[in-house]
Structure 1
Amino acid sequence: MSKKIILLGIFMLWGALLSLQTAPLQLFTEYSPFTLLGVLGAVFANATGAGGGVVFVPFFNQLGFTPVSIVATSFAIQCCGMTAGALTWWGYYRKEKAPDAEWKMLPVSLLVAVPASLSGIWLAQFGTRAFAQLSFLQGKVDDIHLGFGVFSIILSLALFATSLMKARPTYRSTLKGVDAVSLVIIGCIGGVLTAWLSVGVGEMVAVYLILRGFNIAMSIAIAVILTAFTVWGAIPHHIINTMAIDWSVLMFAGLGAIIGGMIAKYVVLAFSPVKLKLFFASWVMIMGLAGLPLF
């Protein structure tokens, strides 16, 4: 099935859903700008390996969303955009890169990192219900603005470091034991961080793989697919327990995120990865500084 047919089906379904709303014209007028936000967030997320929360968190914070609503709505939008991006990257891998030695560790990396990330997410969301000793994993959402700022600055510095590294003539193609253990640790810690901030695990895994000398595009693809699994693992908590998703924002930003997720791969393939990461690192640094209470 072609992407044009898929997009047409999505637009038709979305239009039908909009027509069922109480005041569709008013809803469209008030919330349609969020579509552009969804496109922008998904393009950045799926073209760099960084979660869409890098865009959504500071924007929703400026709009005065509650911390829990920021996280919940960001997760919901990413379920749309990261899924579209993950399917796009997976299709690219299966059709064009599966025989490539530099890409052969993609499935193995996901088999290692996805369970670890989901474990981290669920520990942060539900751990204290079973074990009181895990109470330190709860309550961090109230510090989301500061936490996002600090995390973004650290991430941007890591991205600058990877961007300034000398380009490799060849990339590594084997996942060693130390890499597997590192992906489990990073995945679990990243899952916890993602539960707090709606960003974390994809960025951390992508930076690690790039620093270890793996193919940059493949590292981004792994990060995107991993994040898609992670946000889907996280969203039931916000649907059932927090009930903090802004569904009107999701309706429009989610549509934009799907579009952005489908086109982001072409951004990576059309531009130099180094230039893309330098631009992205600069932007994330600005967002991180803006997240600190000094600004």
Structure 2
Amino acid sequence: MSQDAPFVLVKDYILFSLVGVVGAIFANATGAGGGVVFVPLFNQFAFNPINIVATSFAIQCFGMTAGAISWRDQYLQNKQDPVLAPIWQTLPTLLLLTVPSSIVGIWLNQYAGWVNVVMHADHLLHWIFGSFSIFLAIALFVTLPKLKQEEQPFSLTRLDYIALPIIALFGGVITAWLSIGVGEMVAVYLILRSASVTMAIAVAVIVTAFSVWSGIGYFVLLNEIALDKGVQGFSTIIYPVAIFAGLGAIIGGTLAKHIVLLFSATQVKIFFGFWVLFMGVASLPLW
């Protein structure tokens, strides 16, 4: 309302709220970041790579946080259930193994300057995003047989204590480039290890929420540096898009848990797998 023409602003950007709802539902119902929806869409709007990734990070700060709070509530509820409590008891440990490593991976990529390689190269973001999305879809299909197994308590092994931080570290590096990565990689690993599917999704969502918050400061800092240097017209986050889509993402992130519990894990993963595969192929700069 403080803008010169607030109603024009609403008219121009209100549809991004719907995008935020859809993206957050996908993200929080499957463990994948909302960038799976936002990156291809923003590419169609001809945003440059740094705008795509920065704005996707900003939107996910809304949506993945709402989803993480919702899944946290589910965890606290399940702790009171004698049947579900043993299945979900490893969630805090899994977060301790993955969240710090993911944050280190994001910061390593951003502040070592690796992120600039992708942001300033023609089509490289879309090649990496498309290839990773296709890989992710294949990994989701590979996990389908595991989804039919009865959920049971998940016991961490010595291998898990080593593998999870490494996977989260590389996932963080990829997330800094694509705004997706760490949640998907952690969820697929846990499902392959026969962990509860819903708990794996909860871990992925919460890890992603911490990850995008750790990475958003880099893009805000770039904006501040540009302002200090008097660079005109430079922006990483497209704030009107982030705000309207972010408000929608809060709604989607809150609804997602209920959607997961409404449908079977197999149905959710099959639908999402085909969607990710389609978006990955469509994102490749071949067309």
Normalized against structure 2, the TM-score is what?
0.91
- Aligned residue number for residue 4 of structure 2: 22
Q: How does 1:169-184 map to 2 (within 5 A)?
A: 169-184=150-165
- Does the 8 Å contact 1:41/1:56 carry over to 2? yes
Quickly say closer, same or farther: Cα 1:210–1:20, change in 2 above 3 A.
Answer: same
Quickly say closer, same or farther: Cα 1:196–1:166, change in 2 above 3 A.
Answer: closer
- Aligned residue number for residue 249 of structure 1: 241
Can you list the C-alpha shifts for 1:85-124, whole angstroms capped at 9, x where unaligned? 0001001101234651111010000011000000000000
- Does the 8 Å contact 1:120/1:188 carry over to 2? yes
Q: Please report how far the alpha carbon of residue 140 of structure 1 lies from its aligned counterpart in structure 2 after TM superposition.
A: 2.0
Letter in 1 for 2:118: K
CA distance in 1, matches of 2:9, 2:116: 35
Identical aligned pairs, as a percentage?
52
Is 1:101 paired with 2:86?
yes
Is 1:157 paired with 2:138?
yes
- Does the 8 Å contact 1:148/1:288 carry over to 2? yes
Q: How does 1:8-19 map to 2 (within 5 A)?
A: 19=1
CA distance in 2, matches of 1:82, 1:170: 25
1:70 corresponds to which of 37, 45, 52: 52
Q: Please report how far the alpha carbon of residue 137 of structure 1 lies from its aligned counterpart in structure 2 after TM superposition.
A: 5.8
CA distance in 1, matches of 2:248, 2:177: 24
Letter in 2 for 1:139: V
Normalized against structure 1, the TM-score is what?
0.89
Letter in 2 for 1:54: V
Is 1:229 paired with 2:221?
no
Runs ≥4 in structure 1, deviation > 4 angstroms?
none
Can you list the C-alpha shifts for 1:3-51, whole angstroms capped at 9, x where unaligned? xxxxxxxxxxxxxxxx112211100111000000000000000000000
Letter in 2 for 1:182: A
1:277 corresponds to which of 245, 248, 269: 269
- Does the 8 Å contact 2:191/2:200 carry over to 1? yes
What 5-or-longer segments of structure 1 have no aligned partner?
1-18, 129-135
Quickly say closer, same or farther: Cα 1:137–1:260, change in 2 above 3 A.
Answer: closer
- Does the 8 Å contact 2:137/2:276 carry over to 1? yes
Letter in 1 for 2:104: S
Considering only aligned residues, what root-mean-square deviation do their CA atoms show, in Å?
Answer: 1.3
Q: How does 1:178-193 map to 2 (within 5 A)?
A: 178-193=159-174
Can you list the C-alpha shifts for 1:153-196, whole angstroms capped at 9, x where unaligned? 00000101112446223434211121121111110000000000
- Does the 8 Å contact 2:115/2:176 carry over to 1? no
Quickly say closer, same or farther: Cα 1:262–1:170, change in 2 above 3 A.
Answer: closer
What 5-or-longer segments of structure 2 have no aligned partner?
224-234
Is 1:203 paired with 2:195?
no
Q: Please report how far the alpha carbon of residue 127 of structure 1 lies from its aligned counterpart in structure 2 after TM superposition.
A: 2.4
Q: Please report how far the alpha carbon of residue 138 of structure 1 lies from its aligned counterpart in structure 2 after TM superposition.
A: 4.3
- Aligned residue number for residue 23 of structure 2: 41
Q: Please report how far the alpha carbon of residue 54 of structure 1 lies from its aligned counterpart in structure 2 after TM superposition.
A: 0.2
Is 1:59 paired with 2:51?
no
